[in-house]
Structure 1
Amino acid sequence: MDSASTLHGVRRIAGIILAVLLIGGVVVAVVAGRSNGDNGTATKTVQAVIGSEKAEFFADPDVVKALAAKGYTVKAETSGSWAMEGLDLKGYDLALPSSQAPARELAAKYKVTGTLPRPFYSPLVVVAHKNAAEVLAGNGLATLDEAHRGTLRMAAYLDAARADRTWQQLKGARKYGELTGTVYLSSTDPETSNSGALYLAAASYVENGGKVVAGAAEVDRTAPLLNKLVSVQGAQQSGSDAVFRDFVSGAGNPLVVVYESQVASLLARGEQPEDLVVLYPDTTVNSDHTVVPLTEDGKAVAELLSSDPALRKLEVRHGFRPQGEAAGFASDTTYLKQELTGVHQAAVPTSKVLHELARRARG
C-alpha cells in the first residue's frame, strides 16, 4: 500500500472514531498540533472551544502540521455554539462559534474588544434523499438544476408547513413508502446550536415579508410559524455534526438543515452518495465562523486561520469558504454551487431577538 493510501486509511479511521464519539454526545477533545518529540520544534498549546462541525478540520493531520509549522498546537473541545455562553472559558485561548451572534455575546462577556476575526463561512443548505427532492420539485416546493443539486423555494415550503401538509398530500409521493407524515425540515435545537438558530433566522426573514425581525411586534407575528417548524420535529440534537451523520447513514427525516461545509467535506473524502441531493434555500443565511480571541496566542491562531495560505487551502478542503475568496471552491459542481448565485442572503436578527425567537419556537 502506498503512503497516500495509508494516509487516506488513517484519516478515514480517525473520522469514524470521531463520528462515534460525537454521535454519542461525548465532549470531544480535538488536538491540532505536534508534540515536541516529532521534530524537536517547540509549539505553544492553544486551548479552544469550537463548534462540532469544525472538529474534523482541527483533527486533520495536515491542519495539525500547518499549525505546528507556525509554532502552535490547538487543543479543542466541541460545544453547541449558543451553549458556549454557559461555559466557563477561564484558561481558554479562543472560542470559535459558528456565527457572529454567539461570538458577540462571548466577546461582551469576556470583555474582548475590537473586530472579531471571521476566517471562513458556510451557507445553510438542506440535504434531501433523492425521492423526497423529486417529490418537492414535482409540487413546486423545489427546483432541480442537476441530479444532485437544486433550490428549495422557502416561501412555498413555509406555506406548506403552515398548512401542515403531509407527504401523502403531495402528488407522486405515494409510490415511496418511506415518505409519510408531515413534511418538515429537521434542524438542531435553536437554543443551543447555531444551525438551528440560523434556520429560524432565515424562516423568520421570509415570514416577515423579506425583512429582518427587529422588534416585539415582528417576533409576535413570526413566532407561531417558527413554533410549528420546531414542534413538529420532537426531540432535537444539540449539534449539526450528529444530525448530518444520521442523515448520511439513512436514519431519520428525509430533509435536514445542515451546513454546506459538511457536504463538501464528505465529498472531499471521496464519497458521492447516489441518494443525496443538496437543496440551496432561495433565502438562506451564512454561518460566519467567528473567532473570539481570549489571549494573545488565541489572537495569533485567529490571524493564521484568516491569512495563512496553507490553512486557507485546507479550509476549502473541509468545505469552508474562506472570506474574500470564491475561486477553487467546489470545482465539482455535481452537488454544490461554486458561487452562490440565485441565493438571497438574509440578514440575521440581533442576538437578543434571535434568542427570543428560539425560545418562542421551542414553546
Structure 2
Amino acid sequence: MIGSEKAEFFTDPDVVKALAAKGYTVETETSGSWAMEGLDLKGYDFAFPGSQAPAEELAKKYGVRQPLPRPFYSPLVVVAHRNAAEVLAANGIATAGKGNGTLKMTAYLKAAQDNKTWQQLKGADRYGELTGTLFVSTTDPTSSNSGALYLAAASYVAAGGRVAADTSAVDQTAPLMRKLISVQGAQQTSSDAAFRDFVSGVGNPLVLVYESQVASLLMRGESVDDLTVLYPDTTANSDHTVVPLTEEGRSLGELLSTDKELRKLAVRHGFRPQDASAEFAAATAAHTTYLNQKLTGVRQAPVPASKVLHEMARQARG
C-alpha cells in the first residue's frame, strides 16, 4: 500500500525490471498516507506512506520492529503560474526569479489571516485569471500526507517557531489553520491528481505538491514554460518511510535504500535519496532554473506527533 506520489515509480518499466533482477515482483495499491491507518493491511508485505509520522503509527498498530527503512525524501513546494509568482513577489509575499523562488510563510499567513484577495494585490489587475481569495490549494489533511504536512509547517510558523505538542497548542492556531483549509472548498485526496490539474491549467494558480513531482516532470523533458517553483522558507520534508509487514517487505525497503540502480531510478522520479545529495544534484543539474538543489534559505519545520497532527487536521476541517 503506497502513497499516490510513488505510483509512477513502481510502475516504471525500468523499476519493475530492476526489482525483478533482485527477485521481486511488486504489486501496489494507493491510499492517502494518513488514511492507511484505517485500512486492514493484513496480507500486505509493506505500507509506504509519504512521511514518518503515519509510518510510526502503522508500525505501532502492527507491532513492526524498528528501524523503519527511509529510502528517500522530498520537500514540499508550491507550484505557481509565473504571473501569480510575480504578483506575490511584488507584494512582498514571495521572491521569484525566472523559474524558482521562495514563499515567505509569515507574509503569506498574514495575507491569509487578513482574507486578502488577488484583486487587493498590486499588479494583479493585469491578469484576468487572478481573482478571488489568495490561497494555496492542498490535499485533504485528514487523509493525505502533503495536506497534513502543510498544516505542520504553517502552524509552526504561526506559533512563532514552536511545534504543537498538545491539544492546547493546536487550539491556539486552529482558527488560522481552519481558514487555510476552508477557503479551498472541495479538496483533492491525492497530490498526484492536484499536480496533474495544475499542469493542465485547471484550478488554482498556487498548488502545494512534492518537489519530486516537479523534478520528475522536468527530467522527462515536459514543457514547463509557465512554471515557477516556490520553496516555502519554512516547509516540511516528506520522509517516505517503509513499514515492513513481512520480512519480504523489510528486505524490499532496505533494497530501495541501498541498491545503486534503484536509487538512481528514484532520483529519476524526483526523489532525494537519504544522505546522498550529490546523486540528486547531478541528475537535476540541467534544471536549476526551477529547482533549489541545496534547499538554500529553506528551514525544516519539526512535525508534531501523529496524534497531535490528526487533531490539527480535524480542527482545520472544521
Unaligned runs of 5+ in 1: 1-48
106, 114, 119: which one aligns with 1:163 = 114
CA deviation string 1:254-297 (max 9, x = no partner): 00000000001111111131111000000001000000000011
Q: Look at both structures and tell me which one has the larger radius of gyration over its CA atoms.
A: 1
CA deviation string 1:141-194 (max 9, x = no partner): 0001x3110000000000000000000000000010000000000000000000
153, 164, 171: which one aligns with 2:104 = 153
36, 39, 43: which one aligns with 1:87 = 39
1:350 aligns with 2:305: yes
Instruction: State the alpha-carbon separation in 2 of the partners of residues 328 and 70 from structure 1.
Output: 22
Instruction: State the alpha-carbon separation in 2 of the partners of residues 152 and 261 from structure 1.
Output: 18
1:123 aligns with 2:78: no
RMSD: 0.7
Instruction: State the alpha-carbon separation in 1 of the partners of residues 176 and 234 from structure 2.
Output: 16
CA deviation string 1:58-92 (max 9, x = no partner): 01111011101100000000110011111111110
1:188 aligns with 2:139: yes
User: What amino acid maps onto 1:202 in structure 2?
Assistant: A
Q: TM-score, normalised by structure 1?
A: 0.86
Q: Which has the higher contact order (CA 8 A, sep 6+)?
A: 2
Instruction: State the alpha-carbon separation in 1 of the partners of residues 234 and 12 from structure 2.
Output: 32
Instruction: State the alpha-carbon separation in 2 of the partners of residues 280 and 204 from structure 1.
Output: 17
Instruction: State the alpha-carbon separation in 2 of the partners of residues 356 and 208 from structure 1.
Output: 16
Deviation at 1:217, TM superposition (A): 2.2
Contact 2:139 2:147 in 1 (8 A): yes
Corresponding position of 1:210: 161
Unaligned runs of 5+ in 2: none
Instruction: State the alpha-carbon separation in 1 of the partners of residues 58 and 279 from structure 2.
Output: 33
Identity across the alignment (%): 74
Provide the secondary structure at the position in 1 that maps to 2:278.
coil
26, 32, 35: which one aligns with 1:74 = 26
Aligned length: 314
Deviation at 1:114, TM superposition (A): 1.3
Runs of 4 or more consecutive aligned structure 1 residues displaced over 6 Å after TM superposition: none
Counterpart mapping for 1:1-363 below 5 A: 49-144=1-96, 146-329=97-280, 330-331=284-285, 332-363=287-318
Instruction: State the alpha-carbon separation in 2 of the partners of residues 310 and 321 from structure 1.
Output: 14
Provide the secondary structure at the position in 2 that maps to 1:118.
coil
Contact 2:3 2:48 in 1 (8 A): yes
Instruction: State the alpha-carbon separation in 1 of the partners of residues 43 and 7 from structure 2.
Output: 20
Contact 2:167 2:311 in 1 (8 A): no
